[in-house]
Amino acid sequence: MEHYNNWPRVIRQLESLNKHAVAIGFFGEKNSQLLTIVRANEYGAHIVPKKGQWLTIPTENVPIGSDGAPKSAKEIPGLFKPKGKNVLAFSNNDGTLTVMYYLVKEVNIPSRPFIRLALIENTEKYKHMIEQGIEDITFNGSNAIKVLTKLGVTAVADIRKSSITLSKPANAPATIARKKSSNPLVDTGNLQRSITYRII
């Protein structure tokens, strides 16, 4: 049997591995609102009204919209601000009020760096995966795309886990009441489902 020289394939795959990278996280074509939420939680944010005097913070009484988030005040007819109260409410038939939104001048979201924590906690594992991938390309017939795909799938799982297990700082009391949870990054699961990877 003629001796087979595997080195040209190995060199091509190692060059391909060197030319490509894996981007892991959130990509904004579909939902720029989600990117805003992710950025605010990862780095923290100080939010003030862009227009008007107040920010509206939904209560547990606000229905969920088609996007999985609480409906905005514009979407709920009949809201008004009771005199002397920093809320938006509507009147019930029995004369009572149902508070739909708290009105605040600013919101401070503390940093919850779930993406950076996942990277810090798993850097050595990722280095080992690349080393193993190079070995598999060299001796076991693997290729660059397989190595990068495995790295992407693993990192996505690690970031999802980090977003679920990170519990501090906890949600504000109004958010806990609405979400029925103190876990700051878990609500509908949309954040976790949106974490993905791309080979670039």
pLDDT in tens, 171-188: 666 666 666 665 555 666
The predicted pLDDT at position 165 comes to 86
Pairing relationship of beta strands 22-25 and 196-199 according to DSSP bridges: antiparallel
**What residues contact 67, with CB distance under 8 A and at least 6 apart?**
31, 33
Token pair 């409906």 in the structure block, residue: 71
pLDDT in tens, 96-136: 999 999 999 999 989 999 999 999 999 999 999 999 999 99
Token representation of residue 28: 């904004």
DSSP letter string, 34-47? HHHHHHHHHH-EEE
The predicted pLDDT at position 1 comes to 37
The predicted pLDDT at position 185 comes to 58
pLDDT in tens, 8-54: 999 999 999 999 999 999 887 666 778 888 898 899 999 999 988 99
Percent helix, strand and coil across the chain, each rounded to 5?
A: 45, 15, 40
Is residue 161's pLDDT more than 90? yes
Is residue 149's pLDDT more than 90? yes
CA distances from 158 to 23, 114, 115, 117, 168 (A): 14, 10, 9, 10, 18
CA proximity to 147, closest of 6, 25, 19, 27? 19
